[in-house]
Structure 1
């Protein structure tokens, strides 16, 4: 990651479908609804990480909180040393 970009990690506690399918479906939904807010996505270690920039951070976090398919209640940001 470079300075000024933020990642949002996503994981699931209850699995109705295989995790990879859930993450793929969720990533597709987010990218369809907010294509300009997501600069990159990564699937790793059973998590989906979304990369955004400071201009879209509030928009993306608000969407993840308010959208009926997301309903997020928290976000995890990388440590400052991981951003450089």
Structure 2
């Protein structure tokens, strides 16, 4: 695996900014603009042959300048080896789509766009895939409110689905217990340790 990593770095040069071996897998950090060249090399090179596309996903690190990682997972059945390729992104600068290299990346890039707001340039149909068309925000961002912005419910009087602003605290106050978003008014065993 070490030799494979050295071969990849030597072949791709400045396109690779980092290399890590952990838990039996190889992780490559690549330049965002070079992602298409990197995955094409990993697929086509005789020493790599990462011909099986597994997935694309995102990760959110709000304190960083480029807050998102777009993470690609590939498999080489010939080497019985996996590789992870990461690029840093933000919500304004698009990441080049790899759908021209791996057509199966289509829905995974749409999912990453939908849940994190990462844009992919050159994607054939970049639109939401898991949330509703009028959905506000991107639910896997760490700054997305746990309750969301709107609730969707069926209104019996109007006989249709309605969208309304979330009002959880008011709804729970009509019951005899507190909302889980307001916390408890009683002391739980071990609470005294948290105050010290």
TM bucket by the smaller chain?
0.5 to 0.7
**Residue aligning to 2:45:** 67
In the alignment, is residue 79 of structure 1 matched against residue 58 of structure 2? yes
Structure 1 unmatched ranges of 5 or more: 1-22
Measure, in 1, the Cα distance between the counterparts of 2:54 and 2:16: 15
- Mapped partners of 1:66, 1:59: distance in 2: 10
Provide the aligned C-alpha RMSD in A.
Answer: 1.9
Residues 61, 41 of structure 1: alpha-carbon distance in 2 compared, 3 angstrom cutoff: same
TM-score, normalised with respect to structure 2: 0.29
1:44 & 1:28 partners in 2: Cα distance? 15
The size of the alignment, in residue pairs, is: 62
Aligned to 1:48: 26
Point out the structure with max Rg over C-alpha: 2
TM (norm. structure 1) is 0.63
Cα distance in structure 2, aligned partners of 1:59 and 1:75: 18
Q: Which structure has more strand as a fraction of its residues?
A: 2
Deviation at 1:35, TM superposition (A): 1.1
Normalized per residue, the structure richer in helix is 1
